[in-house]
Amino acid sequence: MSANNTSEIRQVASSSQQKASAKQGKQQKDSSTKYYLPSRETLSSLTSIPFVDTHTHLHYVLERLESTPLRLDNYSILRDTHFPSNLEFCINVLCDPETFAGDTLFPNTFRDWRIQASEPYIYLAAGVHPHNAKVYNDYIESLMLTILQHPKTVALGEIGLDYHYDNSPRDVQQQIFIRQLKKAVELEKPIVIHTREAEQDTYDILTKHVPSHWRIHVHCFTDSPEFAKSLIEFFPNLYIGITGVVTFGSAKNTQNTLRDLPISRILLETDAPFMIPSKLNRNRRSNEKVSVCHSGMIPFIAEKIAEIKGVEIGEIMRAARENTRNMYGI
């Protein structure tokens, strides 16, 4: 790696770390808050059916835990002490360029994607998030392609459009989205989509640049039911990812989408460390708070989906597991 390339990646990493530090500092201001993680018994109480978290950011989960009084700086500790035994595996999504060069910037740490891939419970996806589209270049693409060649990397993503924050200019987001879609098709890789408040542009770009038979995971769906319907009608192998946001009272779009969405098109995901299922913070003392979302909380997402669909949780769990096989081949 040249000095220029190292400097470039370090600048991206520094920016990401500053944002993370700001979030962590905000968490630490309230010294009276007692952070905790639900026990394995609590997370195993809803179902014994095997499940998969199809979208998580494990490196950020560990960083978030280190910012609270509860310190867990090793993935195996988290897995062995807090993940329920029926969690088969998770797909760790690398979407910041800094994570692509983990072996250089963070050697021998869990932020090195090669170390993640060595864990039997972890598969990978890699792609540049729309927030980072403005820094995408040939070198970053070459790092991404190296990860995509690894046998445990099952998809390209998350990629797409985010018009809510506009961290990158919209025209740049669109250009980089198209460029990565073309790579996914060239490499015959399934695609993970991030789309927020960009329904028409996302639909137009996908339908123009991706064959209709392609396997697509639209992750953390929060857009309109009409958008979901148009996507699943055009792409018969497209799945809608549902996170803990479905448990929030404000998540009307996601809840309404689920009412008409076939169970055969649902994937379960946490998008951890974000969107802790609301039930896990219910009935706690006012100064107690779940410290972070993680893959073991998937059953609480499935429980809410089952409630909305009027079916048993087992039906959702089994269907989602089969959908994961169809989408990712694992």
131 annotated to a ligand binding site: no
Q: Give the chain's radius of gyration (CA, Å).
A: 19
CATH superfamily of 35-328: Metal-dependent hydrolases (3.20.20.140)
Give 3's strand partners. none
158 annotated to a ligand binding site: yes
pLDDT of residue 17: 43
pLDDT of residue 224: 98
209 annotated to a ligand binding site: no
Least confident span in 5-9, 88-92, 143-147, 271-275: 5-9
pLDDT of residue 285: 66
Q: Where are the domains of the chain?
A: 35-328
Residue type, 106: F
Averaged over 66-86, what is the pLDDT? 82
pLDDT of residue 20: 41
132 DSSP 8-state letter: G
pTM of the model: 0.91
What's the farthest any 2 CA atoms get from each other in the chain? Answer: 58
C-alpha 213/C-alpha 236 separation (Å) is 6
Q: What percent of the chain has pLDDT over 70?
A: 87
- Of 110, 97, 67, which Cα lies nearest the Cα of 176? 97
C-alpha 116/C-alpha 143 separation (Å) is 16
Residues 222-262: tens digit of each pLDDT: 999 999 999 999 999 999 999 999 999 999 999 999 999 99
C-alpha 94/C-alpha 157 separation (Å) is 8
pLDDT of residue 104: 66
Listed in sequence order, the residues at least 6 apart from 272 whose beta carbon sits closer than 8 Å to its beta carbon are 53, 56, 57, 58, 60, 61, 292, 293, 294, 295, 297
Asked if residue 29 has pLDDT above 70, the reply is no
To the nearest whole number, what is the mean pLDDT of the chain? 90
Averaged over 117-146, what is the pLDDT? 97
Residues 36-60: tens digit of each pLDDT: 899 999 999 999 999 999 999 998 9
Q: How confident is the model at residue 30 (pLDDT cuts 50, 70, 90)?
A: low
Asked if residue 203 has pLDDT above 60, the reply is yes
Asked if residue 68 has pLDDT above 50, the reply is yes
271 annotated to a ligand binding site: yes
57 annotated to a ligand binding site: yes
